[in-house]
Structure 1
Amino acid sequence: MPGLDERIDAAELPADTPVWQTVVWNDPVNLMSYVAHVFREYFGFSPEEATRQMLTVHHDGHAVVAEGAREQMELHAQAMHDYGLWATVRAAPR
């Protein structure tokens, strides 16, 4: 899992630093079990958190799976693409 050791929690960023989000979107291709598997494998989510996030994607159409510095969120989005998931990066609402 490249780059995971360099994760920065959004709460650790200076107050004037913009916070970005990695958003995973629902798609008609991937099984729910696969999405939960990806969340567990890549993000290290517990089985319960991975299932909760996967169900949010399924029911709401998307879920914010990470927040932090833009560069890190772009790495997460690329990793989701590598797993075959649809993900984008957006500025977090303030």
Structure 2
Amino acid sequence: MADLQKYNHFYLSYSGIKLPLKLVGPLELSEIENRNTFFASIEDDQGRVTEIAKVVYNEIELHHHYRYHDDDQSLVEAVITADGETHTIQY
């Protein structure tokens, strides 16, 4: 079972193909209790998404971790874990 306590935002889905993923369809915490699939995220104090987890049947199926340049919204690194494999993209 996924530990979702560290996540502070929840969404229905995402749009686009560029990283970081653009999450859409905000959900309240109470709305995820009966959902089979949703996305959970963490934002930093600048409003940038630093982690995304795709949750399917209470298990994390996909995980993204993003690092940004200190002074803007551009990515330095994206670490993506899916199907037991981790891939790192440097920018």
Q: RCO (CA 8 Å, sep 6+): is it higher in 1 or 2?
A: 1
TM over 0.5, yes or no? no
**Length-normalised TM-score, structure 2:** 0.25
- Larger proportion of strand: 2
- Larger proportion of helix: 1
